[in-house]
């Protein structure tokens, strides 16, 4: 028996099952024997209400991203000069009659953010309670409740302290996740730390008047949305049923690949998916930088740029560009750097389109058109095309707020789907390489990659 069977993982339970090689052969895929089993590290079984709550959190986060996008699209990020108060009022007591102009967007954003923060706290609590026992359980609960209480004091030094602590907790959660990917309680802790940090960053952007914090705020928002989507995925039946589907679909393709002497190194999907998702994230950061500098129209035409394939960026040209611009809102003159960023954004979009198209093509070729990965990557490609079209529409519509916000929305969806496809891919496509051996033993290779150490080919 090869070495990797000593540390098998059961996809259905999403937790490592330390089984012997003898009884591994007794298992059958989709038998449901382990469907409700709790892993040795306390990872819990499927709970429909937990899953629904995780979906609610993800959808609410998406709504928050939309309203946040509207805030920036309307240039209303500073419409409420104080924080955590709103024009001197308690945030929750601000009169509705004063929700005018940019205040409507900014104040709504704050209220929805508070709601999402509460949902995330409940989700983190829920996950923590399900997967912990003893002192650690109540320590975690106490910490979350205490943080919520401190947030209620509404004082800047406390918020800054909590943000610093959130950074530490987030880093520790990532460490724990790297040790045990299936420990959902740490995913919950990571989400809670992220939402605290995100809220404080949003507030500091207002009171410290720093655009750079706004860019960080936007980037973290995208990460947080992807994180809530992943938690929704992890709490789903995917671990118990859908994975079996993936695996079953993958095995015939694996046999085919083996017959054709397809070397493992040729299967680029497993790394291409996360790399492409990361490219999308980098693109979102670049887009956030452009948006927060209000340089979305640094180049006013598309597909050309100032009538050329590559615009001139010398000082004389930039002066002329600025002379042609109409100042409708309070945005500063554009700079050569902003034009360069806009071009980089366009080039990156081309690269991402190509990468996602290749992912979709590669998935169909390697695991067949009916495989869920193929369908998901195809949907991903559709999203990317929509996103490209919305990017062009943003320029053509003179950066209309609704179109620009739709561009942000689809960007967030593309990143979240990229994260989901990457995770699913990394945990089902490994089967393609090791499928014949796996089929014989009817277990998955969760978490293991082909290498001389694992014995997988």
**In angstroms, what is the minimal distance from the CB of 319 to another protein?**
6
Q: How far is the CB of 207 from another protein (least distance, A)?
A: 9
Please enumerate in sequence order all residues whose Cβ is within 8 A of that of 328, keeping only pairs 6 or more positions apart, or say none.
none
Site string for another protein, 200-229 (x = CB under 8 A): ------x--x--------------------
Longest CA–CA span in the chain (Å) reads 78
Query: By rule CB under 8 A, what count of residues binds another protein?
Result: 45
Q: Which residues 104-123 are close enough to bind another protein by CB under 8 A? A: 104-106, 108
Residue 78 binds to another protein (criterion: CB under 8 A): yes
**Taking the CA of residue 366 as centre, how many other CA atoms within 13 Å lie in the half-sphere pointing to its CB?**
29
For residue 145, state whether it binds another protein (rule: CB under 8 A). Answer: no
Q: Tell me the residue length of the chain.
A: 457
When binding is defined by CB under 8 A, the residue of 28, 320, 370, 451 that contacts another protein is: 320
Which residue number, 153 or 209, has a Cβ lying nearer to another protein? 209
The single residue among 6, 101, 340, 354 that binds another protein, judged by CB under 8 A, is: 101
Token digits of residue 79:
């419409």
Residue 334 burial by CB count (10 A; 0-12/13-18/19+): exposed, middle or buried?
Answer: buried
Between 63 and 274, name the residue whose CB sits nearer to another protein.
63
Q: Is residue 89 classed as helix, strand or coil in its secondary structure?
A: strand
Q: Smallest distance, Å, CB 323 to another protein?
A: 5
Select the span of 140-148, 168-176, 315-323, 445-453 touching another protein (CB under 8 A). Answer: 315-323
Q: Kindly identify the residues of this chain, within the stretch 323-362, that bind another protein according to CB under 8 A.
A: 323-324, 326-330, 332-333
For the segment 420-439, give every residue that binds another protein (CB under 8 A): none
Residue 337 corresponds to which tokens in the numbers above?
Answer: 């750097």
Name the phi and psi angles at 181, rounded to 5.
-60, -25
Does position 103 interact with another protein (CB under 8 A)? The reply is yes
Choose which of 3, 18, 33, 98 interacts with another protein (CB under 8 A).
98
Full DSSP string of 329-394: SS-PPP-HHHHHHHHHHHHHHHHHHHHHHHHHHHHHHHH-TTSHHHHHHHHHHHHHHHHHHHHHHH
Binding residue (CB under 8 A) for another protein from 12, 74, 205, 291: 74
Q: Look up residue 396 and give its two tokens.
A: 């053509």
Contact 299, 311 (CB under 8 A): yes
Residues 243-302 contacting another protein, CB under 8 A: none
Minimum CB distance to another protein, residue 69 (Å):
10
Only segment of 137-145, 171-179, 319-327, 417-425 that touches another protein (CB under 8 A)? 319-327
Tell how strand 9-10 and strand 15-16 pair up.
antiparallel
Site string for another protein, 371-400 (x = CB under 8 A): ---------------------------x-x
Nearest of 265, 324, 277, 276 to residue 298 by alpha carbon: 324
Contacts of 212 by beta carbon, 8 Å cutoff, 6+ apart: none
Q: Are 394 and 296 in contact (CB under 8 A)?
A: yes
In this chain, which of 79, 113, 116, 272 binds another protein, going by CB under 8 A? Answer: 79
Candidates 13, 68, 77, 140; binder of another protein (CB under 8 A) is: 77
> Vertex 280, ends 411 and 275: CA angle to 5°?
150
Joined tokens for residue 387: 């996103």
Two tokens, residue 346: 């366009």
279 alpha-carbon distance from chain centroid: 12
Interface residues with another protein (CB under 8 A)? 59, 62-63, 66, 70, 74-82, 87-88, 98, 100-106, 108, 206, 209, 315, 319-320, 322-324, 326-330, 332-333, 398, 400-402, 405
């Amino acid at each position: 028996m090869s070495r990797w069977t000593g540390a098998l993982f059961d996809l259905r339970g999403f937790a490592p099952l330390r089984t012997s090689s003898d009884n591994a052969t007794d298992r059958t895929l989709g038998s449901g024997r382990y469907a409700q089993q709790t892993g040795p590290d306390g990872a819990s079984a499927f709970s429909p209400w937990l899953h629904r709550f995780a979906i609610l959190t993800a959808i609410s986060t998406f709504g928050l991203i939309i309203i946040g996008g509207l805030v920036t699209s309307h240039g209303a990020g500073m419409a409420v000069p104080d924080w955590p108060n709103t024009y001197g009022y308690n945030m929750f007591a601000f009169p509705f009659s004063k929700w005018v102009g940019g205040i409507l967007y900014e104040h709504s954003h704050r209220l929805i953010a508070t709601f999402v923060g509460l949902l995330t706290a409940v989700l983190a609590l829920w996950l923590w309670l399900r997967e912990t026992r003893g002192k650690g359980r109540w320590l975690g609960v106490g910490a979350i409740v205490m943080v919520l209480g401190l947030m209620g004091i509404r004082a800047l030094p406390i918020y800054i302290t909590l943000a610093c602590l959130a950074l530490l907790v987030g880093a520790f959660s990532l460490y724990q996740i790297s040790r045990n990917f299936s420990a959902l309680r740490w995913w919950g802790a990571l989400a809670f730390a992220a939402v605290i940090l995100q809220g404080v960053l949003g507030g500091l952007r207002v009171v410290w008047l720093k655009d750079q914090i706004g860019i960080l705020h936007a980037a973290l928002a995208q990460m947080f949305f992807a994180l809530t989507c992943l938690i929704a995925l992890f709490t789903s039946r995917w671990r118990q049923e859908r994975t079996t589907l993936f695996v079953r679909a993958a095995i015939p393709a694996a046999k085919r690949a083996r017959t054709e002497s397809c070397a493992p190194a040729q299967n680029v999907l497993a790394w291409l998916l996360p790399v492409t998702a990361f490219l999308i994230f980098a693109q979102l950061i670049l887009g956030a930088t452009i948006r927060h500098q209000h340089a979305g129209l640094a180049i006013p035409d598309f597909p050309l740029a100032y009538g050329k394939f590559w615009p001139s960026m010398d000082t004389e040209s930039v002066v002329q560009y600025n002379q042609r611009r109409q100042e409708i809102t309070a945005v500063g003159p554009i700079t050569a750097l902003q034009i360069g960023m806009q071009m980089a954004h366009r080039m990156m979009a081309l690269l991402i389109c190509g990468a996602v198209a290749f992912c979709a093509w590669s998935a169909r070729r390697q695991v067949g058109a009916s495989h869920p990965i193929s369908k998901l990557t195809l949907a991903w490609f559709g999203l990317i095309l929509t996103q490209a079209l919305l990017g062009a529409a943003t320029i053509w519509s003179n950066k209309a707020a609704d179109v620009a916000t739709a561009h942000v929305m689809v960007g967030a969806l593309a990143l979240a789907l990229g994260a989901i496809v990457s995770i699913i891919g990394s945990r089902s496509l490994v089967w393609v390489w090791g499928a014949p051996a796996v089929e014989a033993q009817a277990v998955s290779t969760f978490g293991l990659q082909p290498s001389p150490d694992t014995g997988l080919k």
